[in-house]
Amino acid sequence: MSSQKLVRCEIRRSGTSGSGSPRFIPLEIFGLWEYLMNTKHDFEVLHPRASLWLDMEDSPEAAYSENQYDRVTEITAFVYSGRDDMFTRACRYFRSEECNELKGIFLSHYQASHSRPQAHVRERQGIWLHREASEAVTA
CB atoms closer than 10 angstroms to residue 86? 8
Q: Where are the domains of the chain?
A: 3-129
Query: Over its length of 139 residues, how does the chain's per-residue pLDDT go in tens digits?
Result: 688 999 999 999 999 998 899 999 999 999 999 999 999 999 999 999 999 999 888 777 778 888 899 999 999 999 887 788 888 888 999 999 999 999 988 888 877 665 556 678 899 999 999 987 654 444 4
Between β-strands 69-81 and 86-95, what pairing exists: parallel, antiparallel or unpaired?
antiparallel
| Cα–Cα distance list, 55 to 27, 29, 40, 50, 109 (Å) | 16, 20, 32, 16, 25
